[in-house]
A = this chain, B = another copy of it.
Amino acid sequence: MAETVKRVQIVFQPSGRRGEIEAGKSVLEAARTLGVGIEAACGGARVCGKCRVVVETGRFEKLNLTSSADHVSPVGEAEKKFLTAEELARGYRLACNAFLSGDLVVTVPEESRSAKQVILEKGRERQIELRPAVKNVTVTLAPATLSDFRDDARRLLDALEKETGLHGLTVDFPVLRNLPEILRQNDWQATATIWQGKEVIRVAPGRRETSLGVAIDVGTTTLAAFLCDLTTGAVLAKASRMNPQIGYGEDVLARISYAASEPDGRKKLQDAIIEAINALAADMAEKAGFVADDVDEMVLVYNTAMHHLALGLDPRYVGRAPFAPAVREPLDVKARDLGVKINPSGNVYSLPVEAGFVGADNVAVLLAEEPYNSDAVKLIIDIGTNGEIDLGNKNRLLSTSCATGPALEGAQIAFGMRAAPGAIERVKIDPMTYEPRYKVIGQDEWYPVPYDWHPTVQKVGAQGICGSGVIDAIAAMHKAGVISKAGRIDAKLNTPRVRRGESGKLEYVLAWAKETAVGKDIVITQADIRAVQLAKAALYVGAQYLMERYGVDHVDEVILAGAFGSYIDKESAMAIGMFPDCDLSRVHAVGNAAGDGARIALLDVEKRREAAKVARRVEFIETAAEPDFQKKFMDAIAIPHAKDKFPHIE
């Protein structure tokens, strides 16, 4: 029956992936179309014999499908070479050489599955296919003799091409330097690390199992880094540190100006960030029992300005209309060309830039959240010093950026700090007594413990407040009536927590000096509240514009992302009016989605191709130039929600 139709059904087991494929295509092509990973070292050239699959026969009731060996092309010569008679009898075929003529159920045996699946342990469950850019291949060479004139490089490449079926492999130049010694060290057995199936970027004596990659979300304020085992997808270590460029300017415009006007400004900024990247890589490698030179691949994501500043590209024209970046396309740069101290032949991959300030970090967020595969209209807010907002679904995808400032990351706040042990990350305030309770990173219990108003011993004293703590604090202060809708602290409250600080401005004491590790009262100032209001208003207005442009008055889902280290409390975020109202059950805080996206691109090169497509597809909306921007922005500064719940607050 199927023979007479143009398209046929194919189901891959055990993944259950299913689709309609044009008759005449190979099983391998069908697998690729449907995203089923089949090992094919030779890329379908019929020389490696690795893409072994089993054609199942019979009537599959559940699948509503009859599969038969007659539904594929007859066994070819290439297959007779790689498969035994017994295997052929059992239905084994090479996926590259079996062409579809009818409906088929195909089992991909474990050894032929190219991609293990891994799950990011953070955020929502995300399955990633494990298809890293680098692969270790161990070979044993014929030793050099007087009658075999081959040079060491050719000898190695011949063995690798024979082993993998890959043709035209090259050796990155620096790898040649110690090749003679390395090949002879373990009696001509060596492991080559092959990048993207085309270039040898490392040769180690004997068998080498280590295969490491690093993903870094290079934020304007914070760098968040992951060291991954590329053979398992596991995160071996994590690290974060402040962006040292802060010394040259708090925001990207200040840094662009520094780069353009100071002598060696651009180089100083690049050196600062590269040094931080190197320190992160070295720290993480050491934690996991390796050295940074063991790392073979790195993925960087950043906004457009940070992208230019980290890569040493002239950033001036990114900061002024028409905001043309030097380069938008994804970049593969040798680590040594960037001064990045991992394997010097290793590749540093940058995700593509979208447009204007919407950079590779937002592409990473999209990779992690995949709104382009969704029916529901999603609003994705990536909170950072530059906020990025995406809105859309599989039909259309819009994005914009807004200057949020670092307040939501805990910076430029009187007692702000990054999310690290000692940071207050959660805050609640009793509306009757105005007494707070808070939770410090590094200690499981809240302080003070509930129903016991006597202070317990703090194992980790509070040192400051991180981003999620700041948002919680503002939301809680508003709910408790400590601040008004306009954000003003109520001076008339009967509590020692509200007082005038040294400058005479009002402040709220979150922690008394004795509870802290810094020996000072930790306070939220009126200025802090203002900074948070400006930041959240910018995000709110950005989302409003995208909704207007998309033509929706509500969104199906809200995703809150940001490199806070700790998750933002979605209720607090909505309470302070960070985004348009949405059913709270459809609001998700996912943590550092840009970092997750960077890791996804590190573990699965197919996702890099997806990223390039997505970056081209997203429509960038410039909002700051809209005529009613100022009005919308002022309207959004107020704190909207507590009023309904606490009607005594005006």
Contacts and interface: CB of A to CB of B under 8 A. Distances in A.
Nearest to A353: B151
A346 B620 CA distance: 37
A326 B146 contact: no
Interface string A559-602: 00000000000000000000000000000000000000000000
A602 to B, nearest CB: 20
Contacts of A171: 327
A322 interface: yes
A153 B326 contact: yes
Contacts of A622: 146
15 contacts: A146-B622, A149-B355, A151-B324, A152-B325, A152-B326, A154-B327, A173-B337, A179-B313, A179-B314, A180-B313, A180-B317, A180-B324, A181-B314, A181-B316, A184-B317
Interface of A: 144-146, 148-155, 171, 173-174, 176-181, 184, 311-314, 316-317, 321-329, 331, 333-334, 336-337, 353, 355, 620, 622
Given A149-B620, A153-B326, A325-B151, A317 B177 contact: no
Given A151-B328, A324-B150, A328-B154, A144 B176 contact: no
A571 B323 CA distance: 73
A370 to B, nearest CB: 23
A328 B153 CA distance: 8
A170 to B, nearest CB: 10
B312 A144 contact: no
Contacts of A149: 324, 328, 355, 620
Nearest to A149: B355
Contact of A331 (B173, B311, B312, B353): B173
Contacts of A176: 311, 313, 326-327
A327 B177 contact: no
A379 to B, nearest CB: 23
Nearest to A173: B333
A330 to B, nearest CB: 12
A184 to B, nearest CB: 7
Contacts of A314: 177-181
Contacts of A154: 327-329
Contacts of A153: 326-329
B146 A321 contact: yes
Contacts of A322: 144-146, 148
A202 to B, nearest CB: 15
Nearest to A333: B173
A327 B181 contact: no
A8 to B, nearest CB: 35
The 4 A-B residue pairs with the shortest CB-CB distance, nearest first, are: A144-B324, A151-B328, A153-B327, A146-B322
A313 to B, nearest CB: 6
